[in-house]
Amino acid sequence: MDLKIDVEEKEEAVILKLDGEVDVYTAPKLKSRLIDLVDQSKFKIIVNLENIDFMDSSGLGVLVGGLKRVRSHDGAIALVCTQENILKIFRITGLVKVFPIFETESQALQGV
Amino acid sequence: MSKKVPTESKIRLVIPAKSEYVGLARLTIGGLVRNISDDEEVVEDIKLAISEVYNNIMLQTKAVEQSTVNLVINIYNDEICIDISCSGRDLELTALTPIVWSEPRDRGYGLSLITALIDKVELTQGPLNKTTLRLRKSLIV
């Protein structure tokens, strides 16, 4: 089980494209990447979850931690996700009210 | 429902309590459930619940080497029951009521997910007074 993270800069935002699984083993990799971006003064971040096969609360925790970091610099994190099994965990935990979730990257770029 | 695993089966898994094994636990349970239920949502719910329990154990057993996660899976006609315990340290899920945070937190979502996805979650006393977390999930849609 691994997590691949591709980073792409578009307009004023940075897009993280995740591929694989986000769990207690792989979430530290995502956390580290988010911290690196904030350290590089990248405060508008889009996390694309379309190629994620699985995510649990470890991933949610990392995203919330990242959100707190960028918000302290007036930044934002937007998500791209249409997968029902991933959206479900955001609904159950109420995080759909915390993260703007878009169907496409272009929508997220306009909304972040 | 096409069942490739006989009902009334009992399966035991012992997996190291280390984060690198959570995927193995999830995939093993997922593969098993997929063999007894055609409902992919049931499969995904159980995989996520197992992952969350594993996360909780990881938090508790960081300092305990050689700990194992012990899973006993009972398959009935219309239900799967998974008993989870940990060697080395007792489970500390003393409260099964999820906490509602006033603002987003970067941890503490696991129990909300487990109780939302699983039909019945209970703590029981297993052999040698070890605390066992029991998850029951209907296989009927």
- pLDDT tens per residue across span A17-28: 999 999 999 999
pLDDT at site B92: 64
How far CA A102 is from CA of A44, A111, A112, B72, in Å, comes to 15, 8, 10, 40
How many domains is chain B partitioned into structurally?
A: 1
What is the CATH number for A104?
A: 3.30.750.24
How far CA A95 is from CA of A78, A90, B43, B101, in Å, comes to 12, 5, 23, 11
Asked if the structure places residue B45 within a domain, the reply is yes
Question: Mean pLDDT throughout A45-65?
Answer: 97
Q: Search chain A and give the residue with CA nearest B24.
A: A1
- Residues on chain B touching A23 (C-beta within 8 angstroms): 19, 22-23, 26, 51, 55
Residues spanned by the domain of A85: 3-111
Q: What angle do CA B125, B123, B44 make, to 5 degrees?
A: 130
What is the CATH number for B100?
A: 3.30.565.10
B97: pLDDT strictly greater than 60 = no
Cα B57 to its chain centre, rounded Å, is 10
Bridge partner residues of B79 (DSSP): B138
Cβ-defined contact of A21 to B104 (cutoff 8 Å): no
pLDDT at site B89: 65
Asked if the structure places residue B112 within a domain, the reply is yes
How many domains is chain A partitioned into structurally?
A: 1
ipTM over 0.85: yes
Cβ-defined contact of A24 to B110 (cutoff 8 Å): no
Pairing of strands B68-75, B79-86: antiparallel
Q: Search chain A and give the residue with CA nearest B116.
A: A92
Cβ-defined contact of B112 to A93 (cutoff 8 Å): yes
Asked if the structure places residue B63 within a domain, the reply is yes
List the single residue in B58, B107, B113 with the smallest CB-CB distance to A89: B113
Question: Mean pLDDT throughout A6-22?
Answer: 96
pLDDT at site B66: 78
Is residue B123 very low, low, confident or very high in pLDDT (cuts 50, 70, 90)?
confident
DSSP H or E stretch at residue B13: strand B9-16
List the single residue in A1, A21, A64 with the smallest CB-CB distance to B105: A64
List the single residue in A56, A89, A98 with the smallest CB-CB distance to B104: A98
Residue B68 tokens read as 């194992």
Residues spanned by the domain of B17: 9-138
Taking the model in full, what pTM does it have?
0.89
Cβ-defined contact of A62 to B106 (cutoff 8 Å): yes
- b/e per residue, A81-99, with b = 16+ CB within 10 A? beeebbebbbebbebeebb
Q: Search chain A and give the residue with CA nearest B19.
A: A25
pLDDT at site B130: 76
